[in-house]
A and B are shown apart, each in its own frame.
Chain A
Amino acid sequence: EIVMTQSPVTLSVSPGERVTLSCRTSQSILSNYLAWYQQRPGQAPRLLIFSTSTRATGVPARFSGSGSGTDFTLSISSLQSEDFAVYYCQQYSSWPRTFGQGTKVEVK
């Protein structure tokens, strides 16, 4: 099983700031098969990024993904009020599909 480790666990930031979230995997991810999701309080998760760097339909350009091998990053260029949420990475390179434990982005 590929273990996904996200850091930091919590990130306290102010609106307008740039944030960078990290996701490290215990094994190399083949074909960059990594996705990112956003979960706002009381809501279902929402797909943001797939294939490491491809934004899903309707996702604002301020969200970007990068990385390869075992190190991946989600960046938000200028944090908006609606971006305060928990973010999860997920690999679909091997079975079982696994998620990171999440990074909570909160208001500073």
Chain B
Amino acid sequence: EVQLLESGGGLVQPGGSLRLSCVASGFTFNNYAMSWIRQAPGQGLEWVAALSGSGTNSYYTDSVKGRFTISRDNSNSTMFLQMNSLRADDTAVYYCAKVPAILPLYFDYWGHGVLVTVSS
């Protein structure tokens, strides 16, 4: 059974940093791309970043380029999202999602999400 467990969320001040983690199980982690998707309170879904199975190719939405970094540790089946220079509009539930291919496509499994609140 595929399981994705996010952690690392919380309250942070504007301009601060936070690192999210996603531990995966139930599949061969390095064979699949992974992604982060967020949902602001009461809003829709927004794709944030994606990383190929090897970790070689990364992709970002424009609003987080230069501030967020996606990475993975295939030996420990874990994906990360380093978030710097956080802003109020980064406040959201962040979901870790698995892609059913080596390169990012759609998302076949999702974690339960972790809340990030950016506020002073």
Contacts and interface: CB of A to CB of B under 8 A. Distances in A.
Contacts of B89: none
Nearest to B106: A35
Contacts of A102: 44-45
What bracket does the count of chain B residues touching chain A fall in?
Answer: 20 to 34
Given A96-B61, A97-B50, A97-B104, A44 B111 contact: yes
8 nearest CB pairs, A to B: A35-B106, A44-B110, A97-B47, A99-B45, A92-B105, A96-B61, A101-B44, A102-B44
Main secondary structure of the interface of A (DSSP, over half): loop
Interface string A33-50: 101010100011111001
A92 B106 contact: yes
Contacts of B61: 96
A90 interface: yes
Contact of A46 (B45, B50, B100, B110): B110
Interface in B69-120: 95, 100, 104-113
A84 interface: no
Interface string A74-108: 00000000000000101010011111111000000
Contacts of A30: none
28 contacts: A33-B105, A33-B106, A37-B107, A44-B95, A44-B111, A45-B110, A46-B110, A47-B106, A47-B107, A50-B105, A50-B108, A56-B108, A88-B44, A92-B104, A92-B105, A92-B106, A95-B59, A96-B47, A96-B59, A96-B60, A97-B35, A97-B104, A99-B45, A99-B46, A99-B47, A100-B44, A102-B44, A102-B45
Interface of A: 33, 35, 37, 39, 43-47, 50, 56, 88, 90, 92, 95-102
